[in-house]
A and B are shown apart, each in its own frame.
Chain A
Amino acid sequence: EVQLVESGGGLVQPGGSLRLSCAASGFTFSSYSMNWVRQAPGKGLEWISYISGRSITIYYADSVKGRFTISRDNAKNSLYLHMNSLRDEDTALYYCARGGATTRPAEFDYWGQGTLVTVSS
């Protein structure tokens, strides 16, 4: 059974940093691209970052480019999101989501339950 479990969320002051983790199980993690998607309270979904299976290709949404860094450790079946210079508008539930197993663009077929990041003084 595919499982994605996020952790690392919490309360952080504006300008602060946080690292989110996503532990994957039930599939060959290194074969799949992964994504981070966030959802502000009461709002819609916003994709924020993509990483290919071997970390060769990485993309970011403009809203987080230069502040957030996606990475993965295939030996640990883990995905990460390093978040710096956090702003109030980064407050959201952060989901990791599985992409595809090839270089072809892919839908997100499995999602974690999310981890909440609150940016507030």
Chain B
Amino acid sequence: EIVLTQSPATLSLSPGERATLSCGASQSVSSNYLAWYQQKPGLAPSLLIYDASTRATGIPDRFSGSGSGTDFTLTIARLQPEDFAVYYCQHYGSSVTFGGGTKVEIK
């Protein structure tokens, strides 16, 4: 089972700033089967990025994913007020694991 470690646990930023979230895998992620989700309080997670770098339908281009192997990054180019939330990375394959999450909060 691949273990995903997200850092930092909390990111305190101001609207308009750039957010860089990291997701490290305990072993290489095959075929870059890595997704990112956003979760706002009281709501279900929603898909942002899949296959490490492909934006899901309707996701603004300020969200971008990159990385391969064991190191992946979610970048939010210019934080909007609605972007303050918790973000999870996920590996999907013969088994599925989630990272522990990064909370992006208003500074």
Contacts and interface: CB of A to CB of B under 8 A. Distances in A.
Interface of A: 35, 37, 44-47, 50, 59, 61, 95, 99, 105-109, 111-114
Most buried by A among B35, B43, B95, B97: B95
B72 interface: no
Given A44-B88, A95-B44, A108 B98 contact: no
B94 A108 contact: no
Contacts of B97: 47
Contacts of A112: 44
- Of A47, A50, A113, the most chain B CB neighbours within 10 A belong to A47
A44 B101 CA distance: 7
Nearest to A46: B98
A105 B88 contact: no
Interface string B82-96: 000000101011111
Interface of B: 31, 33, 35, 37, 39, 43-47, 50-51, 56, 88, 90, 92-101
A114 B44 contact: yes
A111 B45 contact: yes
Nearest to A47: B96
A107 B35 contact: yes
10 contacts: A37-B98, A44-B100, A45-B39, A59-B94, A95-B44, A99-B92, A105-B94, A107-B92, A109-B47, A113-B43
A112 to B, nearest CB: 7
A99 B56 CA distance: 14
Contacts of B35: 107-108
B46 A111 contact: yes
Nearest to B98: A45
